[in-house]
A and B are shown apart, each in its own frame.
Chain A
């Protein structure tokens, strides 16, 4: 089940449900009846499908359909929010009445006539999911399962699923800006369980994008399956690394979880507006090696973190956060942008109409540096090389972060030796930034289905980086 891309002009999709520009204006007038600086309406209609192969059978499927509107009233740094799953005018006005309670002034604010804005398209799709049959999805899963079993006879079990969906969102603001976006998505996942000499291990790989069926090229399908099989077999011979502080080399691509946890969250402007991020007092200061440039980019075509507009209706953009080691910008929503008197960076995002937008990352990327990956590995006498990851977390104010390394290698005398697995790596954001002393020239944007959690909301994100050496982090190994 999916939603086809609307073919009409901005607003026509929801107008067929009775949501006219005039009604939107009327709802916002209700929302601003007690005053307030601004107000927005966020309409969303989304559908998704997930089909799973397990036990050798494609015998599980699920679909969901969601429709609703969130109304937000902003007064200074204060937010009143409510939502309705009922799009009747009376229900929408009721939601607006609830959100209006945050404001305390009695004067009405003028609501501008909605003006339709056209937006760019960073997620072109040639085979949309609404045109893909269930039979085709089943065929895809069967193919991946067979590929995995054919790849290695140690593979004993394969579980596969493919998810896809699409949302139509419409933003209408009291300042008159009216935008509409169609957001496709897909995620392909495979988990392999392998067995050798009575030892069982399991591991997985996934790929995700804002794309249609065309995303699953033959190359990508092969890589998806190959990676899952390889990662499961890798586990069989991997050990827990030694514990303690040591140099860490982060492989190009998924290692950007370090960027996301150690730096990205701390640069979200809501934390800095409240002065509770460890980066709050660091603007325009040198916070990293001069080879370090970090951007957060919502415009990378078809990436999972791409947004044509953010969830406040602001333009998406490529935001330079750290330039040659100097902190240049936070990630702003409209509230923090007003607080800091800068333009929004298109970073106000939300999980759905049930949530308020807050500053979030999109695709967080460290740009290339001057070193080759080979010379970076060769420079380490005793340390670890981290190549795949499961999850991470950060304490915003203290700056402490952690990420879980699913796989990697020991580095001994400049060479990758013993495979390692399942270890938590921990450090402090600014400290780790200052210890990034070699930056590779092999940037990879990871294709995995990362989801970032904050304030109870999950949003899709992307990340990427070249190979990087951090001179010291704490490894949670054994002995």
Chain B
């Protein structure tokens, strides 16, 4: 692992690039420079199948030239290479039209949040090749041991870690930077089923801290359970049924809301949430928050892409839409106040209700444990997603489900949100519990 490129070097380089762009004719400049190092090992059938290491340095440059805006990226940060690149970029920008809403934010609203988001684990600096190999070996061995009596065709295991250091420098005087680490482990399993089918399942866990990576036993148990639950799957008759969307995949549905909250979709009148701010859009049971300050959260960050300090933002309270994601540019276009253009950790508060309780207490329910394809219409809110999972009757799993879809309109399904569960998934930007919706159109046979 190479951590020899210091924050000071990156900040100085960003500053030099900014000054270079100014000297070549840009009136406002923002430079972000990032250094990242990552390693991933993949093992199957007792041998390391792939060992990949990367060491990357890149720069993003935003230019304002005579009131005209453009953005550029390059992987070669040597000034002698960047000079002709930036010169051409500035020349090209002059052919564009003036956009009065494009300018750097006022320095007075920029800054970094003071909260300790614990994004960086110094354990990354001491991670060795031997440790990675040992983790991988332990995970594979545990998977194979636990699945010894199961109809398994193949298990592929992974471990990875990463490091990234980003420094920002803007011509209005803003400078900031932060480091983050990443660790993870996971596996894919392929089972042997009837009719030559080889259903697969996966479980990957990403964390900021090494100590938060689940044990090999936890991962192996989970992957085997998920693989086994895919056996003998088929579709069931079409019906309106309650669905319990498993915590780790619930972001698929909630992501639809976030996309519709984006400022560009609001400004361009291409969102089902246009005009809905302050209005009820869901069951009063629904609460959603964007929190970029969760310690060790994967979407935690000290400042957003505009350089605004990160803040906690209620998105939906008691079913009422609270805000849009407005970066500085979209806020200006909408003559509104900027919030942020990028979401933090998306949180739905858990309750005391366990998923198990719900599956046992409802006469019929589909536990949605995966999605397959599908899409949504951001203008209308119509959606249609393929699902996999299990169908329960009175607490008993009576059928593993595949080749089925759920469809409807986002407002209809959000009105049918019943409750969140207790089981928050922490290995994603979406820190969600399992979510129960009633009367959802499920199409199968």
A→B interface (CB under 8 Å): 1, 49, 51, 54-55, 57-68, 76-85, 98, 101-102, 133-135, 138, 157, 159, 193, 200-202, 240, 243-245, 261, 274-278, 280-282, 354, 356, 390-393, 395-404, 421-424, 426-428, 430, 474-479
Contact = CB atoms under 8 A, between A and B. Distances in A.
Contacts of A477: 384, 407, 443
Nearest to B386: A402
Contacts of B376: 422
Interface in B41-83: 44, 47-58, 68-76
A206 to B, nearest CB: 16
A56 B51 CA distance: 49
Contacts of A354: 54, 56
B20 interface: no
Interface string B332-354: 01000000000000000000000
A399 B195 CA distance: 11
Given A356-B52, A476-B374, A60 B407 contact: no
B405 interface: yes
B57 A85 contact: yes
Contact of A422 (B74, B377, B388, B404): B377
Given A193-B270, A244-B238, A81 B52 contact: yes
Contact of A423 (B197, B238, B407): B407
A82 B52 contact: yes
Contacts, number: 249
Contact of B96 (A60, A68, A202, A392): A60
B109 interface: no
B375 interface: yes
B405 A424 contact: yes
Given A64-B73, A426-B404, A398 B373 contact: no
Contacts of A200: 269-270, 379
A392 B372 CA distance: 8
B405 A475 contact: yes
A476 B406 contact: yes
Interface in B260-302: 268-270
B375 A390 contact: yes
12 contacts: A51-B96, A59-B96, A60-B99, A65-B72, A65-B74, A65-B85, A66-B74, A85-B75, A398-B200, A403-B373, A422-B382, A476-B406
A398 B197 contact: yes
Interface in B393-408: 402-408
B82 to A, nearest CB: 9
Interface of B: 44, 47-58, 68-76, 85, 88-89, 91-93, 95-99, 102, 129, 153-154, 156, 190-191, 193, 196-200, 230, 233, 235, 238, 268-270, 333, 372-380, 382-386, 388, 402-408, 441, 443-445
Given A60-B70, A78-B50, A85-B76, A397 B198 contact: yes
A101 B88 contact: no
B292 to A, nearest CB: 25
A85 B91 CA distance: 26
Nearest to B230: A398
Contacts of B373: 261, 391-393, 401-404, 424, 426
A474 B96 contact: no
A44 to B, nearest CB: 10
Nearest to A60: B69
Contacts of A422: 375-377, 380, 382-384
B199 A397 contact: yes
Contact of A79 (B51, B55, B88, B98): B51
A126 to B, nearest CB: 23
A427 B445 CA distance: 11
B72 A157 contact: no
The 6 closest A-B pairs by CB, nearest first: A476-B405, A402-B373, A397-B198, A243-B443, A402-B386, A424-B384
Contacts of A356: 50, 52
B197 A397 contact: yes
Contacts of B70: 60-63
Nearest to B382: A422
Given A78-B49, A157-B269, A474-B403, A59 B102 contact: yes
